[in-house]
C-alpha cells in the first residue's frame, strides 16, 4: 500500500469518525408540534373580536406581523444546552386591549409529556407577561415557573364548551396566579380551542373579575 493511499485512507476515517461524533454530541433541537399550532398559530390579518362580558363593549385583536426564529438555551439546573423554535405574533390592538404579543416556544423534556409540550406566552403593554397555555404539564398540578410567569395549572380538558351560541370541542381550561410585583394575587383563567386559539379569559383581583369572550373571528391557519 502506497504512502499516499494510506494518508488518504486515514484522512477519510478521521472525517467519517468526526462527522459521526458531531452528530452524536449535537445539542438537541426542539420544534413546535403541529397539534399545538392548531391551537395557537395563526397567520397575518387573522382577527378575533371579544366582548367585555359585563359591559358588552367589543374589542378587536388583529395579527399585524409574525416572526419566527431559533433561540438557544444555555446550560442551567434544568438542563441544556439546546435550541428551540420560537414564533412571535404581534397584535395590532385598535381598541383598549392590553395584549400586544403572543409567543409560541417549542417544548422540551422539562415542560411536560405527551404530544404537546410547547408553550404559549402572552405579553402585555405594561411589560407584564405570563404563560397562558402549556398542555404538557400534568392536569391539576400547579407549576411554579418564576416571578413573572407565576403559578400555572392545567385545570381541565373540556370535550365540549359552549360560548355565545357557538360550540367548541377539546377546549383547555388553564389558570395562572400572579403574586410577584403586586400587593394582591391576580388570578387569570384562560380557555383555548383548537383552530380558534384564545376564546375566553378572566382576570380577578381584589374581589373584582373582568371577563372577555369571543363573539366572532376571521382566522387563517396553514
By the 10 Å C-beta count (0-12 exposed, 13-18 middle, 19+ buried), 136 is classed as buried
Q: What per-residue confidence (pLDDT) applies to 10?
A: 36
Q: Into how many domains does the chain fold?
A: 1
Q: What per-residue confidence (pLDDT) applies to 96?
A: 79
Q: Give the count of beta carbons closer than 10 Å to the beta carbon of residue 212.
A: 23
Has residue 89 been placed in a domain? yes
State which residues form the domain around 133.
33-218
Only one residue has cell 388570578, namely 187
CATH at 125: 2.40.360
Has residue 28 been placed in a domain? no
E strand or H helix at 133, and its extent? strand 129-133
Q: What per-residue confidence (pLDDT) applies to 101?
A: 96
CA distance 154 to 173: 6
Q: Give the count of beta carbons closer than 10 Å to the beta carbon of residue 191.
A: 23
Q: What per-residue confidence (pLDDT) applies to 213?
A: 98
Has residue 11 been placed in a domain? no
Cell output for 29: 433541537
Has residue 4 been placed in a domain? no
Q: What per-residue confidence (pLDDT) applies to 94?
A: 67
Nearest-CA neighbor of 50 among 209, 201, 220, 219? Answer: 201
Has residue 100 been placed in a domain? yes
| Residue 183, C-beta contacts closer than 8 angstroms, at least 6 positions apart | none
Q: pLDDT digit of tens for each residue in the chain (222 aa)?
A: 544 433 333 333 333 334 444 444 588 999 999 999 999 999 999 999 999 999 999 999 999 999 999 999 887 766 678 999 999 999 986 667 889 999 999 999 889 998 899 999 999 988 889 999 999 999 999 999 877 778 999 999 999 999 999 999 999 999 999 887 666 889 999 999 999 999 999 999 999 999 999 999 999 998
Has residue 2 been placed in a domain? no
- The C-alpha angle with vertex 161 and arms to 159 and 164, in degrees rounded to 5, equals 165
Has residue 9 been placed in a domain? no
Q: What is the pTM of this model?
A: 0.85
Amino acid at each position: 500500500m502506497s504512502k499516499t493511499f494510506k494518508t488518504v485512507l486515514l484522512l477519510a476515517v478521521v472525517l467519517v469518525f468526526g462527522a459521526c461524533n458531531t452528530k452524536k454530541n449535537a445539542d438537541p433541537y426542539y420544534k413546535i408540534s403541529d397539534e399545538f399550532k392548531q391551537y395557537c398559530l395563526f397567520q397575518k390579518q387573522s382577527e378575533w373580536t371579544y366582548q367585555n362580558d359585563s359591559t358588552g363593549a367589543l374589542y378587536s385583536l388583529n395579527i399585524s406581523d409574525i416572526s419566527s426564529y431559533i433561540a438557544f438555551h444555555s446550560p442551567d439546573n434544568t438542563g441544556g444546552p439546546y435550541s428551540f423554535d420560537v414564533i412571535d405574533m404581534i397584535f395590532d390592538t385598535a381598541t383598549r386591549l392590553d395584549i400586544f404579543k403572543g409567543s409560541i416556544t417549542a417544548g422540551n423534556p422539562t415542560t411536560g409529556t405527551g404530544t404537546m409540550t410547547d408553550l404559549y406566552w402572552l405579553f402585555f403593554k405594561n411589560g407584564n407577561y405570563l404563560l397562558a397555555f402549556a398542555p404538557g404539564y400534568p392536569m391539576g398540578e400547579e407549576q411554579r415557573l418564576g416571578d413573572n410567569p407565576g403559578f400555572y395549572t392545567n385545570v381541565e380538558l373540556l370535550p365540549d364548551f359552549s360560548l355565545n351560541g357557538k360550540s367548541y370541542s377539546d377546549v383547555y381550561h388553564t389558570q395562572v396566579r400572579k403574586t410577584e410585583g403586586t400587593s394582591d394575587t391576580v388570578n387569570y383563567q384562560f380557555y383555548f380551542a383548537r383552530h380558534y386559539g384564545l376564546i375566553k379569559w378572566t382576570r380577578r383581583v381584589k374581589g373584582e373579575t373582568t371577563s372577555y369572550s369571543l363573539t366572532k373571528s376571521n382566522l387563517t391557519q396553514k
